[in-house]
Amino acid sequence: MGKSEKFDYFDYFAKAGQFALQAAEHLKETLDHFDPNNIKKRMEEIHVIENDSDNANHTMLKHLTHEFMTPIELEDIVALSGELDDLVDSLDDITQHMYMYGLLEATQEMKEFSGLIIRSVSTLLEALKEFRTFRKSKELRQLLIEINNIESEGDKLYSTSMRRQFLENSDYKTLIGNTRIYEMLEACLDDCEDVADVIEGIIMKNT
């Protein structure tokens, strides 16, 4: 039997980024055209994306257990794939919590958050595509900086969103639900920054 084809870990990272972008786009569409009567269906749809992402991650880890040499250190591959998996999980969880909390309306701030998430995940995907050439890339570091900048925009939006909630919303059920959704949306931007930080750490170790 011939030798099996070597697994392309950099290609996997880019595919993981594609799953994250697909989930982010699904979330943005859900919020931009929010329909409380359709949220269960939307939850089920994004969970399919999350499940596909999980399967790809499991396939990669299965290959990794049999590798003798990897293009970067094994623990770095595990760390980066874990952060990417967490990002897709977080995007999936947001829609699930919309359903659980019986969200009746998507606020303007939620829609703004989804726009920031799209920007951040899109930038992250470009960084993951560029990651293969991290030792000589001139664009990668700037992409990572941009992800950090978007996260800072998210921090500001989170503060103003929460202030508005507590000043204007007297219905405690809506207040609790919206507050939790804002926390999770902001956490997605943190997850993107976490992926960027792992990539930055790998660059520093290998250059």
Place of tokens 């760390």: 79
pLDDT at 1: 37
Query: Rounded to an integer, what distance in angstroms lies between the CA atom of residue 181 and that of residue 168?
Result: 17
Three-class secondary structure of residue 189 per DSSP: helix
- Written as one string, the DSSP assignment of 90-133 is HHHHHHHHHHHTT-----HHHHHHHHHHHHHHHHHHHHHHHGGG
Comparing C-alpha atoms, which of 160, 167, 41 is closest to residue 112? 160
| DSSP symbols for 40-91 | HHHHHHHHHHHHHHHHHHHHHHHHHTT-S--SS-HHHHHHHHHHHHHHHHHH
Delineate the domains of the chain, giving CATH numbers in brackets.
9-206 (1.20.58.220)
Q: Kindly compute the dihedral angle of the four CA atoms of residues 196, 197, 200, 202, in this order, to the nearest 10 degrees.
A: -110
Residue 179, helix vs strand vs coil:
helix
Mean model confidence pLDDT for the chain: 95
Average pLDDT of the segment spanning 30-40:
97
- pLDDT tens, 73-95? 999 999 999 999 999 999 999 99
Which pLDDT does position 172 carry in this prediction? Answer: 87
d(CA 170, CA 173): 9
Tell me what pLDDT residue 3 has: 47
Residues 179-199, mean pLDDT to the nearest whole number: 97
Instruction: Output the pLDDT for position 5.
Output: 66
Model confidence band, residue 113 (pLDDT cutoffs 50, 70, 90): very high
Residue 45 predicted with pLDDT over 50: yes
Indicate if the pLDDT at residue 67 is higher than 90.
no
